[in-house]
Chains A and B, each alone.
Chain A
């Protein structure tokens, strides 16, 4: 064996030392993963012509979950993951809606006495009262189907129901294997971990907080910089009444959010009161980040010390200028404010 051959083989033997640390696919945000972008793509006629071809496998799996959620009935592509995750409803996304993790935290914040008065979605997968559109089914109803007998047969053989009727929603349990598969094939699919863990903790029957915690912690191990996962971990721990661990998780989420947030690029959007459309930082990231800092302060006030909560709030306020909720919290903390419930 020649020298160059020995060197090449020797380098291969040693290569796992660095090759196991190569993670070019590990990053926050990104157009292919962002829900707003995903919806824009799905609404494109061209994307429909291309036959639901998507940029990645997990996107296809998200479409699959929609079918499962509707007991097999295929509705027109109409994906709103916020609604699916929070209520099991397929609906048009209302303008200015926020990420499901943030919604949940808003709910928590309200419970803690700081939230605004606005409608919230329940999280039990059944009980929801928000308005929603009525997307058509892929198999058309009889009155608009020119195919005659073929259409009758297709409606009889395939899962179908009249699109004007209320949607039948499953409990979401059937979706869980898909989220498992999503995260197994792509361990950096943060959204898969988030929604999967959400469903696990939100089952009305056999609610499995332990399994949800295990799932989200697996996500954190694979994506240590994903602050939204830390935020959800805090939520689950809080629900399990492991308050000290929840406080630490919220704190970690807030610190990661502070590190990840591109302040100089985001602030002009906030100042001009417009939607954030940076490819690596969107409205969803912003809402999650704000939820993380608020929960870090709230949990510190509730389970730690008020002084430390005030110190944290002031520090976070430097990075999150324009967050009204945080300013209210600061005023309350400075004035010795209302005690946490």
Chain B
């Protein structure tokens, strides 16, 4: 006896979110950025393979290569999340694909949340793949360097939160400024924001009014705080619980705020 085919006329919100996520993942794989990253990583791995044949001279060089690979994974996944997040809503509006989505029982907030989760997941998938690949130099050196596994776990968890943060900020940016400006500003801030903050803070401290400025600058997200991989490759032990939880809370607060502001802006936006 044939099984009756059932149709869901209107997908539930959860189904809609899953569909959104699937769409973002497919789009990410189709975009050229993904392949550019793969090419870069292939160049890195070729270099590592050559190094493996020539021989990694010492432990310091091994750790240096490891740091280079992990830093590349961290940087690439964040930039990919930024680029993916920045184009989601503008492209959907431009292509008018947002209308059938919002016509379904899917609130604008849920739509935003779905986009954020999908962009973060895309960044995370890239990060996971590149992170595993960055451990390739390990196989070409007989002695394992002393690195803290708990520190590695902390660094990865904080990076996940950091990916969520950059995804949320890129979505917010896409709602309040043109795509090019959003990508440029957020990209620059991600790359040099921490150094710029340090510089301004240090100058202000010298002139005696550092504390108020330090407080004001704390409202700008500091991605430098969230990258713990140099600490890990430096062979330093894990952060204490307060610092670690503080970093997770830091990322969560900025993510939450960016999502809140995005929701406010998106709800007021006429489509």
Contacts and interface: CB of A to CB of B under 8 A. Distances in A.
B257 A9 contact: yes
Nearest to B262: A5
B199 A184 contact: yes
Interface residues of A, number: 49
B166 interface: no
B243 A22 contact: yes
A12 B253 contact: yes
A12 B172 CA distance: 16
Contacts of A29: 234-236
Given A8-B257, A186-B198, A53 B218 contact: no
B194 to A, nearest CB: 9
Interface stretch (B20-28, B56-64, B119-127, B128-136): B56-64
Contact of B195 (A41, A49, A57, A218): A57
Interface in B7-64: 47, 51, 54, 56-61, 63-64
B41 to A, nearest CB: 15
A30 interface: yes
Given A184-B199, A185-B195, A9 B260 contact: yes
Contacts of A186: 195, 198
A184 B228 contact: no
A186 to B, nearest CB: 7
B259 interface: yes
A185 B199 contact: yes
A55 interface: yes
A11 interface: yes
A24 B235 contact: no
B256 A11 contact: yes
Contacts of B257: 8-9, 11-12
A67 B114 CA distance: 53
Given A8-B260, A184-B198, A30 B57 contact: no
Given A24-B243, A46-B51, A184-B199, A18 B61 contact: no
A279 B236 contact: yes
Interface stretch (B82-90, B180-188, B244-252): B244-252
The residue in B63, B249, B260 that gathers the most chain A C-beta atoms within 10 A of its C-beta is: B260
B65 interface: yes
Given A4-B260, A8-B253, A15-B218, A22 B61 contact: no
Interface in A21-57: 21-25, 27, 29-33, 37, 40-41, 43-47, 49-50, 53, 55-57
Nearest to B231: A24
Nearest to B56: A46
A30 to B, nearest CB: 3
Interface footprint category on B: 35 or more
B264 A40 contact: no
Interface in B58-110: 58-61, 63-65, 67-68, 71
B185 to A, nearest CB: 19
B52 to A, nearest CB: 10
B271 interface: no
Contacts of B67: 32, 55
B202 interface: yes
Contacts of B175: none
Given A12-B253, A25-B231, A46 B243 contact: no
A16 interface: yes
B60 A44 contact: yes
B57 A16 contact: no
B234 A27 contact: yes
B233 interface: yes
B206 interface: yes
Task: Give the most central of A8, A49, A57: most B CB within 10 Å.
Answer: A8
A250 to B, nearest CB: 26
A196 interface: no
B96 to A, nearest CB: 28
A1 B215 CA distance: 26
B171 interface: no
Contact of B219 (A2, A16, A221, A278): A16
Q: Which 7 A-B pairs have the closest CB atoms?
A: A279-B235, A30-B234, A8-B256, A16-B218, A5-B260, A40-B60, A44-B61
15 contacts: A1-B260, A4-B260, A11-B257, A16-B218, A19-B246, A19-B250, A24-B225, A24-B239, A27-B236, A30-B231, A40-B57, A45-B57, A47-B64, A55-B71, A185-B195
Given A15-B219, A22-B243, 5 more contacts: A2-B263, A9-B261, A12-B257, A41-B64, A184-B199
Interface of B: 47, 51, 54, 56-61, 63-65, 67-68, 71, 145-146, 195, 198-199, 201-203, 205-206, 214-215, 218-219, 222, 224-225, 228, 230-231, 233-237, 239, 243, 246-247, 249-250, 253-254, 256-257, 259-261, 263-264
